[in-house]
Structures are given as C-alpha cells and as structure tokens.
Amino acid sequence: MKKYDLAVFDMDGTLFDSADTIYNAAIDTFEKLGMKDVNFPRDQFEPKIGAHFGDIFREFGIHVPDIEHYINVYKEIYFDHIDDTKFYRGIPELLAELKGSGMRLALLTTKNQYQTERIADHFGLHDWFEYLMGRKPGIKIKPDPEPLEMIIGHFGCSKGKTVMIGDSEFDIGCGINAGVDTIAVGYGYRDHEFLLNEKPVHFTATVAGLKELLLG
C-alpha cells in the first residue's frame, strides 16, 4: 500500500550511478579547453557530486577562467559518456511498482532542463515520471524549496502526502525547507553519517529499504 501520493526523486546518486559519466566528462572538458594538465582524484571528486562545478573546482584549487563556458562544453561532452551511467539495481522495478500503486512520480535535479530531458529520453524515464524539473532560468535550485513547491503545486498534492528522496544534503535540505517528508538514500555519493547529520525523516542504505519505506 502506498504511503505517499507524490514521490519526488533526485537523479544522480538516487536513480543512477552516473559517477563515471560525470568524472570522465569533467576531465575531457578540461582537455577540450586546452587545460590538459588539470586532474583531480576520483575518490575525492565522487562525494562532491551534486554540488556546483565552480564550488568543486574551488575546493580542489583549480582555477577555471570562465566556469559558465566550461559547463556549456561539459553538457555536450557528457553525452559522449552517457552509456557509462547505470540504474542502481532494482530502481526500474521499484519505479514500475510505485507507478502501479497509483503514486505520482516526479524528478527534481540541478541539471539544466535540456540535459534532463535528453537523459530522460535516453533512459526511458517518461515511462514512470510524469514531471521532470531541471534547472530553469529564474527558478531557484535545491536546497531552496521553490522547485519542489512548484512540483507539488503542479500535482495538487498535499505536503503531508509528499516525499523528497535523494542522496545529498541538497535533496534533504530542499525537502525540509518545503516542509515535506524526506528519505536519504545511502547507496549514492554521501556517506551514511553525513546524511544522518542532515536530519532526514527516514534513511535507507538500500533500494529494498527504499521500497519498504514507500510501499510498506
């Protein structure tokens, strides 16, 4: 039996393991821009996935003269590596079961809308998700509640029957700021202690645990 009317999912680290795609595209973008000597350790990069590239590179001490140009080039190179992205095991089956239960499904990501739509087309996300919210001009991004509140308004659901699901502080913060339940998933890019410190309503380390929280 479904416990919520509306489940809003993050994408990277929640639906997909896209770390190979993101890391390799980031490195290739530096090469494309003639910054061939730039490198950063994969094991330190992965826990930062979901943050803005400008913030990530600043932490690594990497100066990018024009971060917006870097990101625009990256967005295209990303799709050269799209087949390195894989669903976490059990996610397609879970999404199908949630939809079959009558639960409404939406996606909320900080990727821009064009990139979000291309990824959705590639992986068939429209089979499950009725609404895709990527980064759009004039709309704030997670952890600001604005995009989540727009999704809730689109469906006409109550906040009490809505849940935000993700693997990062941005997802949990967005849900908390919007006043909805949150589920932190520990199979993504943040460690368990970090996520628990963000005070989600629920935490699970597995897709099976996520199913239990959503369907009982």
pLDDT of residue 214 exceeding 90: yes
Tokens 């309503």 sit on residue: 201
pLDDT at 54: 92
Model confidence band, residue 1 (pLDDT cutoffs 50, 70, 90): low
Q: Does domain 6-17+87-215 have CATH number 3.40.50.1000?
A: yes
Task: Decide: residue 84, CB within 10 A, 0-12 exposed, 13-18 middle, 19+ buried.
Answer: middle
pLDDT of residue 90 exceeding 90: yes
Using one digit for the tens of pLDDT, what is the confidence trace for 106-135?
999 999 999 999 999 999 999 999 999 999
Using one digit for the tens of pLDDT, what is the confidence trace for 170-213?
999 999 999 999 999 999 999 999 999 999 999 999 999 999 99
Q: Where are the domains of the chain?
A: 6-17+87-215, 19-84
Pairing of strands 86-87, 6-9: unpaired
